[in-house]
Amino acid sequence: MRVYLDNAATTAIDSEVFDAMIPYFKEFYGNPSSQHSVGRDVKSAIEEARKKIAQLINAQAGDIVFTSGGTESNNTILKAAVRELGVKHIVISAVEHHCVLHTAEYLEQAGEIRLTVIPVDEKGKISIDQLDKVLSESNEKTLVSIMHANNETGVMIDIEQIAQVCLHHNALFHSDTVQTFAHYPIDVQSIPIDFLSAAAHKFHGPKGVGFFYMKKSSKVGSLIHGGSQERGWRAGTENVAGIIGMAKAAELAYEHLEAERFQIKNLKSYLIQEIEKAIPHIQFNGAIDDSTSYRVISLSLPPHPMGSLLLFQLDMQGICVSGGSACSSGANIGSHVMAAMNIPAERIPLRCSFSKYNTKSDIDILVEALKNLYSV
């Protein structure tokens, strides 16, 4: 039996989502850019999916651009904001996903922007006062890009408060909501946000598809050129089945939002309770209250003779967890998120992330395995 507790990396596709996608592999196979009826039928399905996703965040259908996922969305927003909206200053936190961090660093190294990186405290939080100070001292057109929930720790920002600070200073605001879209309600009419990005595989949809939202007053151009797809904002034949699956997954997630949140929060509380009893001197990276995503818990395990190989030992026992971001696996460097939070290097980070498919039995198996490893 396999225990999967790495849902911040990716989630299992929902069977209803898979069923919704199948016809777009077999029956509705037309190119949506074609002028004939086979293509027009597919184009109509894409536009219905766009409308559905837009409605979920209280946006207009024309504000949604389909992409290959969060990384492409974030790259497009940052680069196009610089090259088309005249942004000369980008502000990020020290714990951004690498697709934001590395893109901002690339733009700085190319001499296109000035980059400000705001540190976080030991709980992984940025200082709103420091952000306010940075923006008050900036004389250039500025884009603030801060993720809604950190992918390694689950630490969340007050997205509305940060949006208001940006609005006060006339700065553009982008949030990477890859870890929160379809898990938390987001209303782009009540939150003055210019851009947000999401990826389907984080909410039981398919991999390789995502979207970004952009406010009408902050429209950017294409990162990928070569065709007029996505109203000219993203060239390339659309991932039709993926888009249909993403819309279905989002619809299902919103339909069961509160019930799944209740279920998963109980699992997280149960893990906290059981692991504190089982492992002496365990610590938590970030807060374990409602200021952290209910889907993620980041543990700091005591030093162990196996070191990071502890995770491989768990894998050998059929338990899938993570030491941090899946996007950084294989890199021979420590987590920049843990370093920014001043987590001692000798401690072993372990991220557990939950979905609607997890049970208390999964928690029991993980805790028992860790207890046995630390009792040897």
Active centre residues (catalytic): 327
Secondary structure class of 134 (helix, strand, coil): helix
Q: What is the DSSP string of 250-280?
A: HHHHHHTHHHHHHHHHHHHHHHHHHHHHHST
> Tokens 């420091």 appear where?
130
Strands (E), the chain: 3-4, 64-67, 89-93, 114-118, 142-145, 172-176, 195-199, 210-214, 283-284, 296-301, 319-320, 348-353
What Å distances lie between residue 122 and 5, 93, 334, 337, 338, CA to CA?
25, 13, 17, 10, 9
13 φ/ψ angles, rounded to the nearest 5 degrees:
-70, 135
User: Which of the 8 DSSP states describes residue 117?
Assistant: E
Give the separation between CA 116 and CA 105, rounded to whole angstroms: 10
| Length reported for the chain | 376
Contact 253, 346 (CB under 8 A): no
